[in-house]
Structure 1
Amino acid sequence: MEREKSHSLFFSLSPLFYLILTILFFRFVWVVTYPHPAALFVSGVISFLQRRNRKFVFLKSSFRKNFVSVLPAMEILFFVGMLIASWAYSGVLSTMIQIGILFLQPDYFLPSLAIVSAIAAMVSGSSWTTAGTLGVALMGVAEVISFPQTMAAGAIVSGCYFGDKLSPLSDTTNLASSLTHVPIWKHIRHMLKTTCISFGIALLGYYFLNLYIWDSTQTTKITLQSESFGDISLSGVSWFKLIPVVLVFGSSLFRMHIRLSLLLGIISSIVLNLTEFGFPWEIGKTLVYGFESRSGNEVFDRFLNGGGVVAILPTEILILAAVWFGAVVEGYGYLNEILIQIKIWAKDRWDILLSTMGTSFLLNLVTADQYLSLVIPARAFRSLAEEKGIPEKDISRSLEDSGTITSPLIPWNSCGAFMSTSLGVSVFSFFPFVFFNLIHVLLALSLLFVAKNKSKSS
């Protein structure tokens, strides 16, 4: 869809500038923390201004395509909402929190969160499964020991995406590999060096931040509150309540789809209630409206309350608003012009790799879907990469370095919305503490710029 008249790159990017400015205005002037209104407002204004330049059919086609791409994510979100509610109801979450309190020590709390999340994501192959299950429990541990929720969420997201990026079971890892025709293990080995460096630096950052937090609060150990959990010991843990957790992560090892894994977790937790309390007639209400804890402990109740389908609805609306904005940007030709301008600018191999990363990040901003942020750049720059003799593994790594890594850092992206909903912390709040993702993007860009400068000087 080429526009009749060519415009500058700045003009083509103007919808994104307007969106960011409107979000900031709504946030700091009207104290509207959600980006839904900003996305809808900017989309409406652009549609009105461009109504004569494009037929509605282009807009409709773009919306349909973007909606189909995010529909699986929207379906998974409903399953996660029901999973959280069912696990809270059946005592799975409280059991996981008990175990976390026993094994996670405050002196190494943030690094531990990142490492545990990374291992779980690498085993399951899914950052979403890890955040929606183990991540929720780890946030509960942070709540109980009064650790800052924003920092805990940042460490969990970092671990989730490190493990997801290096897992042969990950859908994004396999997608980037297949799009560039690079064998999966070759793709992972090529990412390993820079990814491990970034994660190592992130762990150091979490360690020193952890030292500062504990020193500032003068907290030296976790105080077990008997009124919350009673006497916590290994012998007092109801280990059988971890069956749903084992089923969710175990099914992932057999490449079962995430929907089926989450459904298995929901059904197994309901069965636990059948054996312990008889048929829970209120479980249907809990799955829809969320769990309401009445333990009497304010901290414990505040964490366990929630989940369910209703709690997911604001996130679903946010994704739809982002899809509409992406349809406007694509349907009215802005996105096509941006890609044309980038192709004109890319002269050598380093420009192409930078363009691949930049386009992936741009598509995360515009389409709200990390899969499109991998697919479109791979197709757009494949021929240019072949002409310049760029190894396919460099393209596949660049796709992951930007498309996969930046997706949870954008509030209206399906990944950012999912992480925010699952962990109960807004993207704006945990953004500064997602050390791995931020460090890795900076490291990847720095290496490309250094290589580009060296090639110019030689």
Structure 2
Amino acid sequence: MEREKTHSIFFSLSPLFYLILSILFFRFVWVIPYPHPVALFVAGLLSFLQRRNRKFVFLKSSFRKNFLSVLPAMEILFFVGMLIASWAYSGVLLAMIQTGILFLQPDYFLPSLALVAAIAAMVSGSSWTTAGTLGVALMGVAEVISFPQTMAAGAIVSGCYFGDKLSPLSDTTNLASSLTHVPIWTHIRHMLKTTCISFGVAILGFYILNIYVWDSNRITDLSLQSGALLSGPTNQISWMKFIPVILVFGSSVFKLHIRLSLLLGIVSAIGFSVSELGFQLAIGKTLFFGFESHSGNDVLDRFLSGGGIVAILPTEILILAAVWFGAVVEGYGYLNEILIHVKNWAKDRWDILLSTMGTSFLLNLVTADQYLSLVIPARAFRSLAEEKGIPEKDISRSLEDSGTISSPLIPWNSCGAFMSTSLGVSVLSFFPFAFFNIFHIILSVSLLLIAKNKSKSSYLN
């Protein structure tokens, strides 16, 4: 990186100002169908022109690094698109929706979604696997019973990230632990208290919201809507259809890579289709273009129709635009200057922990990858934390409290894009209902600020 005088914090943060203004412009002034990719490109271009005297090699190197970091996520998204299409085609998704209608009670629907998603994510160790499989079926149940999709998606995302955060099989939990040299179980125990409090508050919030939204008079309507799915010889639940689901979650338990888990789900679902209908060219078309349902139930057809590789392409473009923006911010020195300003500001342990969280969130915004949001702050603040005598487990918890938890709340982050694509609801739509993620960030920051104020008071006294 070229040596030069560090600019003011406002100049260093200018790419974020450009991004915010671009998003507002393309959403409310010049309205376009996909505002976020265009806003990311424009913000990156303005930031690039602002430092056009920099060597292009820095941008090229940063783009390559960021692209390689999100490439696995982009590959997984293609597998998810084919998985959704294959499960809809083979009847696996319909069987899961039927089961959900049988067992999920409308009076406790939102809390149930969060709990089911949390258990599945804790068992599999992956919020992505849970959202891309079970989450899709749960959204189908919400569609059939006419429950608001945005609220259902918020509950599922909350459950996914609670389970992922406390699972010893989770890649992000293991990464945060290894980056700070904290044993995995020590790391999980240290997160347990605040994480469980946040999830408990979220469950209470979902219950209250459920009471407010669900009208008991609609139970009759529910029976009429779902009756066709649960009655008749051709609509009986085939429990054999759950074999692909078992394979996906079972392989996750045995630590198979998520790509292999999803591939097992796709192949097994296609196997069911071939055994029932014989080999048809429509299978290949479905995997690429998505599934078209013609069940006669308009609500169900609207939900089951979709998936496929083509449906994933807008999300892939969004991630690439975020990679471009992140490459400019990192390659042209903006990020490095921000870290210098933050380090100069951090004077005590509470400042360092707040800086760790803030930097982690910032990297989720600019790099589109939650792994970088854990790796870079760990490297940036670990030595500073050692100098101040801060326990390593406090750093590892701060990384998770911000980097892991905030990633699905950012539309162009790979996690936010994945959740939106899998659940069929935009990030900005389910954001207000991701109670666990929102409250946990507020709780974590509040506890640090309270501790900081107490330490100041004790010093003054």
Query: TM-score with structure 1 length normalisation?
Result: 0.97
Asked if structure 2 preserves the Cα contact closer than 8 Å seen for 1:118 and 1:164, the reply is: yes
Asked if structure 1 preserves the Cα contact closer than 8 Å seen for 2:101 and 2:226, the reply is: no
Partner deviation per Cα, 1:94-142 (whole Å, 9 max, x = no partner): 0000000000011000000000000000000000000000000000000
Q: Distance in 2 between matches of 1:3 and 1:424?
A: 46
Q: Distance in 2 between matches of 1:383 and 1:355?
A: 14
Asked if structure 2 preserves the Cα contact closer than 8 Å seen for 1:191 and 1:397, the reply is: yes
Query: Which residue number corresponds to residue 247 of structure 1?
Result: 247
Asked if structure 1 preserves the Cα contact closer than 8 Å seen for 2:145 and 2:226, the reply is: no
Query: Which residue number corresponds to residue 307 of structure 2?
Result: 307
How far off is 1:220 after superposition? 3.9
Asked if structure 2 preserves the Cα contact closer than 8 Å seen for 1:98 and 1:232, the reply is: no
Query: Which amino acid in the other structure matches residue 448 of structure 1?
Result: L
Partner deviation per Cα, 1:219-246 (whole Å, 9 max, x = no partner): 246314367425189x931000000000
Q: Distance in 2 between matches of 1:3 and 1:214?
A: 60
Call closer, same or farther: CA 1:250–1:3 in 2, change over 3 Å.
Answer: same
Which 10-residue stretch deviates more, 224-233 or 186-195? 224-233
1:424-435 aligned within 5 A: 424-435=424-435
Query: Which residue number corresponds to residue 37 of structure 2?
Result: 36
1:55-454 aligned within 5 A: 55-215=55-215, 218-220=217-219, 222-225=222-225, 228-231=228-231, 236-454=236-454
Task: Indicate the SS of the match to 1:223.
Answer: helix
How far off is 1:382 after superposition? 0.6
Q: Distance in 2 between matches of 1:149 and 1:81?
A: 19
Call closer, same or farther: CA 1:391–1:226 in 2, change over 3 Å.
Answer: closer
Query: Which amino acid in the other structure matches residue 229 of structure 1?
Result: L
Query: Which amino acid in the other structure matches residue 313 of structure 1?
Result: L
RMSD over aligned Cα, in angstroms? Answer: 1.4
Query: Which amino acid in the other structure matches residue 241 of structure 1?
Result: K
Call closer, same or farther: CA 1:387–1:427 in 2, change over 3 Å.
Answer: same
Partner deviation per Cα, 1:361-389 (whole Å, 9 max, x = no partner): 00000000000000000000010000000
Query: Which amino acid in the other structure matches residue 344 of structure 2?
Result: I
Call closer, same or farther: CA 1:95–1:8 in 2, change over 3 Å.
Answer: same
Q: Distance in 1 between matches of 2:374 and 2:2?
A: 22
Q: Distance in 2 between matches of 1:159 and 1:3?
A: 46
Structure 1 unmatched runs, 5+: none
Q: Distance in 1 between matches of 2:31 and 2:105?
A: 37
Partner deviation per Cα, 1:140-188 (whole Å, 9 max, x = no partner): 0000000000000000000000000000000000000000000000100
Query: Which residue number corresponds to residue 51 of structure 2?
Result: 50
Partner deviation per Cα, 1:357-415 (whole Å, 9 max, x = no partner): 00000000000000000000000001000000000000000000000000000000000
Asked if structure 1 preserves the Cα contact closer than 8 Å seen for 2:158 and 2:437, the reply is: yes
Q: How many pairs does the alignment contain? A: 455
Q: Distance in 1 between matches of 2:450 and 2:306?
A: 48
Asked if structure 2 preserves the Cα contact closer than 8 Å seen for 1:227 and 1:297, the reply is: no
Asked if structure 1 preserves the Cα contact closer than 8 Å seen for 2:111 and 2:207, the reply is: yes
How far off is 1:45 after superposition? 2.1
Q: Distance in 2 between matches of 1:449 and 1:12?
A: 25
How far off is 1:280 after superposition? 2.5
Task: Indicate the SS of the match to 2:164.
Answer: helix
Which 10-residue stretch deviates more, 350-359 or 6-15? 6-15
How far off is 1:278 after superposition? 1.1
How far off is 1:333 after superposition? 0.5
Asked if structure 2 preserves the Cα contact closer than 8 Å seen for 1:174 and 1:184, the reply is: yes
Q: Distance in 2 between matches of 1:115 and 1:392?
A: 30
Q: Distance in 1 between matches of 2:243 and 2:297?
A: 26
Query: Which amino acid in the other structure matches residue 35 of structure 1?
Result: H
Asked if structure 2 preserves the Cα contact closer than 8 Å seen for 1:96 and 1:137, the reply is: yes
Structure 2 unmatched runs, 5+: none
Query: Which amino acid in the other structure matches residue 36 of structure 1?
Result: P
Partner deviation per Cα, 1:310-351 (whole Å, 9 max, x = no partner): 000000000000000000111111000000000000000000
Call closer, same or farther: CA 1:346–1:226 in 2, change over 3 Å.
Answer: closer
Partner deviation per Cα, 1:79-99 (whole Å, 9 max, x = no partner): 000000000000000000000
1:6-21 aligned within 5 A: 6-21=6-21
Task: Indicate the SS of the match to 1:204.
Answer: helix
Q: Percent identity?
A: 80
How far off is 1:274 after superposition? 1.5
Query: Which amino acid in the other structure matches residue 88 of structure 2?
Result: A
Task: Indicate the SS of the match to 1:255.
Answer: coil
Task: Indicate the SS of the match to 1:10.
Answer: helix
Query: Which amino acid in the other structure matches residue 285 of structure 1?
Result: K
Asked if structure 2 preserves the Cα contact closer than 8 Å seen for 1:173 and 1:400, the reply is: yes
Query: TM-score with structure 2 length normalisation?
Result: 0.97
Q: Distance in 1 between matches of 2:217 and 2:313?
A: 40
Q: Distance in 2 between matches of 1:412 and 1:135?
A: 20
Partner deviation per Cα, 1:14-33 (whole Å, 9 max, x = no partner): 11111012112211123335
Task: Indicate the SS of the match to 2:52.
Answer: coil
Asked if structure 1 preserves the Cα contact closer than 8 Å seen for 2:18 and 2:46, the reply is: no
How far off is 1:288 after superposition? 0.5
Q: Distance in 2 between matches of 1:232 and 1:45?
A: 61
Q: Distance in 2 between matches of 1:408 and 1:41?
A: 23
Asked if structure 2 preserves the Cα contact closer than 8 Å seen for 1:102 and 1:232, the reply is: no
Task: Indicate the SS of the match to 1:219.
Answer: helix
